[in-house]
Structure 1
Amino acid sequence: MIFYFSGTGNSKWIAEQLAEKTDDTAVDITTLNMAPELKDEKYVGLVFPVYAWAVPEPVRNFARQLAPNVGFAYGVCTCGAEAGLAMKQLNKIYPLQSSYSVVMPSNYIVGEDIEPQQTIRQKLKEAKQAVEQIADEITRHEPVNRVAEGGMAFLKSTLAGKGFDRFARTTKPFFAEDSCTGCGLCARICPSKTIRLAEGKPVWGETCYQCLACIHHCPQRAIQYGEKTKERGRYTIENYL
């Protein structure tokens, strides 16, 4: 079984591709009330995006619930360029036989604009090739550690990762512009269930993973995070597949 967490679809796509190629099933961890009891699983996969060179909180919490399994355990993280020590962090929580990072289009528009279209399409082309190789290695139960950690990985994954959890996940900058139609899509897809509609407009609670699913999926581009996201593009993988 493959368990995934995804905001704009990158990790979901990876998980579903691997499930198809390894005759497995991909499950969104945010739809589960608790980790299922695993019995006689041939594979156990964890697929997720890297946030600030670290493992996102919902993935850490889910992995702690997973009981050790006799199946081949592997992890795949998606990142814009470097994964830091994210996979090593996960391996301490849930032991893995294989660890991978796959470069995918960047989507954290709180920090910077989305990449040029040519860059996005090239990354996806190379990611498809990477998934083919990963699936083949998993099928053979081949132990692999192919993770692009990058420079100063320890500092990035500890200082930046902890700083992200403590300071960058505030919901105060979120707001919806007048173009919001009150469709409620943001509330339905929010993995932390922190969004509700009040008088036809989204209102954010305190718990947020900073996946930015609400911003990128809004059909009216009405959701912003402060002023800086107004002029920046939006990204969901569905627009490129």
Structure 2
Amino acid sequence: MIYYFSGTGNSKWVAETIAEKTGDELLKITDALKEGKQIHIDKNSRIGIVFPVYAWNLPIPVAEFIKLLDIDGGAYIYAVCTCGDNVGLTVNILKKRIRLCGGYSVKMPDNYIPAFDVDDAQTALEKVRDASKKLDIICGDINSEKARFDYDKGRFAALKSYAASYLFNKYALSSKPFYTEPSCDGCKLCERSCPTENITVVDGMPFWGDKCVQCLACIHRCPQKAIQYGKFTKKRGRYFFDFTEEEINCKKGR
């Protein structure tokens, strides 16, 4: 089984790719959280956890999901973290909470536009192509249940995963900076896209609750680019994973 959390589609694609190459089933972490039941993992199980890194740490839904796991010794547990650049100590933090047999980082297109712009189209595509090649290696490890860790901590990993993450969780999770421009047509795609069901569209206008985890699916999926967050997102691009297999595999292996 592969449990995954995704906002703009990067981790969803990674999870789907792993599922295709390993034959394992997929389940959204948010669906598991809705059920709220303890998940027993027996010693013969193989479990993957795929998620994006938020401020060099675990997204809140992933941290909550980990609490549901009841893992027998001997189970093969691995994690694959997607990131725009590096993951800091995310894998190390996860290893302190559950026994991991494998941990990986996969670099994918940037999408946190409150802080910086998205990658240009060519850079994004090259990241995905490189990710596809790395996933071939990762899936080989998974199929042989190999114990291996291959992730990029980056510089100042502890500072980022603790200090920066603390500040992110304290100050950046507010829904107050969200607003819509007049071009919003009330299509409700933001409501349907929100993994935490934090958005409600009333009389054609979206309203955000207090469960935002900063996945930014609402901003990036809006077909009118009408959703903004604070002062800086208006002039920045949008990104949602929509690469075709033909695009990804065009230069793969060269």
- Which TM-score applies when normalising by structure 2? 0.91
Query: 8 Å contact 2:43–2:71 — kept in the other structure?
Result: no
Which amino acid is 1:12 matched to? K
Does the alignment pair 1:48 with 2:51? Answer: yes
Q: Does the residue aligned with 2:206 lie in a helix, a strand or coil? A: strand
Structure 1 pair 115–163 and aligned structure 2 pair: CA distance change class (3 A): same
Which amino acid is 1:125 matched to? R
Cα offsets for 1:44-96 (capped at 9, x unmatched): 00000001111111101101111114431100000111100001111111210
1:168 to 140, 152, 172: 172
Cα deviation, residue 190, structure 1: 0.8
How far apart in 2 are the matches of 1:36 and 1:96?
16
Q: Percent identity?
A: 45
How far apart in 2 are the matches of 1:44 and 1:157?
24
Cα deviation, residue 39, structure 1: 4.4
The residue that corresponds to 1:151 in the other structure is: 155
Cα offsets for 1:5-31 (capped at 9, x unmatched): 000000111111101101101111112
The residue that corresponds to 1:205 in the other structure is: 209
The residue that corresponds to 1:78 in the other structure is: 82
Query: 8 Å contact 2:41–2:75 — kept in the other structure?
Result: no
> Could you say what the CA RMSD is over the residues aligned between the two structures, in angstroms?
1.3
Query: 8 Å contact 2:40–2:71 — kept in the other structure?
Result: no
Cα deviation, residue 240, structure 1: 5.5
Structure 1 pair 161–195 and aligned structure 2 pair: CA distance change class (3 A): same
Structure 1 pair 239–128 and aligned structure 2 pair: CA distance change class (3 A): closer
Query: 8 Å contact 1:121–1:240 — kept in the other structure?
Result: no
Does the alignment pair 1:141 with 2:145? Answer: yes
Query: 8 Å contact 2:175–2:210 — kept in the other structure?
Result: yes
Q: How many residues align?
A: 241
The residue that corresponds to 1:97 in the other structure is: 101
Query: 8 Å contact 2:51–2:62 — kept in the other structure?
Result: yes
Structure 1 pair 165–63 and aligned structure 2 pair: CA distance change class (3 A): same
Query: 8 Å contact 1:60–1:93 — kept in the other structure?
Result: no
Cα deviation, residue 41, structure 1: 5.4
The residue that corresponds to 1:130 in the other structure is: 134
Which amino acid is 2:121 matched to? Q
Q: How does 1:109-120 map to 2 (within 5 A)?
A: 109-120=113-124
Which amino acid is 2:111 matched to? N
Which amino acid is 1:53 matched to? W
The residue that corresponds to 1:67 in the other structure is: 70
Q: Does the residue aligned with 1:119 lie in a helix, a strand or coil? A: helix
How far apart in 2 are the matches of 1:184 and 1:30?
19
Cα deviation, residue 207, structure 1: 1.6
For structure 2, the residue ranges without an aligned partner over 5 or more in a row are 246-254
Q: Does the residue aligned with 2:51 lie in a helix, a strand or coil? A: strand
Cα offsets for 1:101-134 (capped at 9, x unmatched): 0110110011111111111111000000011000
How far apart in 2 are the matches of 1:80 and 1:36?
30
How far apart in 1 are the matches of 2:119 and 2:201?
31
2:234 to 227, 230, 236: 230
Query: 8 Å contact 2:218–2:227 — kept in the other structure?
Result: yes
